[in-house]
Amino acid sequence: MNDRRFNALLGFAALVIVFIFAGFLFTLVVQSLPAVKQEGAAFLYGSEWNPVTTRFGALPFIIGTVMTSAIALIIAIPLSLSAGIVMGEYVNSSWVRSVLNTLINVLASIPSVVFGLWGIEVVIPLVRNLAMLVGAPPYGAGILSASLVLAIMIIPYMSSMTREALMNVPAGLREGAFALGLTKQEVVTGIALPFAKKSIFAGILLSLGRALGETMAVTMLIGNATRIPTSLFSLGNTLASVIASQFNEAASDVHRAAMMALALILLIITMIAGWFGRTMMSKGTGAYGK
């Protein structure tokens, strides 16, 4: 062993990592070709997904993915921002803070399949009752159940990122504002939140990336229907959940290829969300020389 060989070894490992990523893209593109050739651009906007007649349009799943993630964000944002503000601005005792931190970390580490299990036993009956109350079909499973659990799953990330963003606000700004006689609320909404808004937004985008790609909990709760969801109580599928429920039972090579194409779409969407989030994050922390 010498320095040159050692460096070559490191470079080799680095190359392997890059090749893994390139290989992912390559494999997904190549494997999805049969489906894309058959459907053309209609793969993206076709609303029929039927393995029997081998018609493959991804629109129901794209809509399902966007719907569940959007609803989850709408539910999770106010809850997470509040929790982040409380942890970052209001909790003074280090004991309470560490309890809250531990709790959030615990929730973040619970596997997705356990959330799915919890959703099946707790959320689905609740949603079924709600559906009967408003006269919707009482499946229980569906877009709303999936979105609710998805929201709970992203709360820990979003709230700890909000807290972190608020804690990065320079103490001097806050002290100056208090010294001028501002109330806590004025300091938070007038100084801290505007200062941290880019990082908070980045946290929301990164959470969105997680919600878009989340598989197991959604698969267990969304009801596995291959039509375009029309209401909160509709059964549906997301890009990830349709792959999870159909891939092993693929009826034909085109069917499997079509699911590879879905995986490719999912990968591209999450890559864009993650890239935006990271860019925003570096801008957010780059401000004020910190």
Partner 1 sequence: MENNVFTGQYKSRKRKDIFFKVLVLIPSGIVVALLVLIMAQVVVNGAKALNLDFFFQQQKPFGEVGGGIVQAIVGTFMVLAIAIVIALPFALLSSLYLYEHNGSRRANGLLNVVNTLQGIPSIVIGVVIYSWVVVPQKTFSAFAGGIALSILMLPLMISMIKESLDMVPPSYLEAALALGVPRWRAIVEIILPAAASGILEATGLGIARAAGETAPLIFTAFGNPFLSLNFKGPVSALPLVIYEYIKSPYDDWHRKAWGAALLLVLFVLALNLFIGSRKKR
Q: 3-32: which residues touch partner 1 (CB under 8 A)?
A: 3, 5-7, 9-14, 16-18, 20-21, 23-24, 27-28, 31
Evaluated on CA atoms 166, 161, 121, 227, the torsion sign reads: positive
Nearer to partner 1, 28 or 230 (CB): 28
Tokens representing 280 are 């925003």
Residues 214-273 interacting with partner 1 (rule: CB under 8 A): 214-216, 220, 240, 243-244, 247-248, 259-260, 263, 266-267, 270-271, 273
Q: Which of 143, 151 has the CB closer to partner 1? A: 151
Stretch that binds partner 1, among 50-58, 66-74, 101-109, 167-175 (CB under 8 A): 101-109
Instruction: Tell me the closest approach of the beta carbon of residue 237 to partner 1, in angstroms.
Output: 12
Spatial distance between the Cα atoms of 83 and 24, rounded to a whole number of angstroms: 37
Ranges within 173-202 binding partner 1 (CB under 8 A): 183-186, 188-189
Rounded to 10 degrees, the C-alpha dihedral 75/81/84/86 comes to -110
What sign does the dihedral 186-192-195-197 (CA atoms) show?
negative
Q: Which of 29, 33, 74, 110 binds partner 1 (CB under 8 A)?
A: 110
Of the candidates 59, 66, 79, 136, which one interacts with partner 1 according to CB under 8 A? 79
Report the length, in residues, of the chain. 290
Find the binding residues for partner 1 in span 141-180 (CB under 8 A): 152, 155, 159
CA 60 to chain centroid, in Å, comes to 18
Closer Cβ to partner 1, 186 or 230, answer by number: 186
Q: How many CB atoms lie within 10 A of CB 37?
A: 11
**DSSP summary character for residue 144:** H
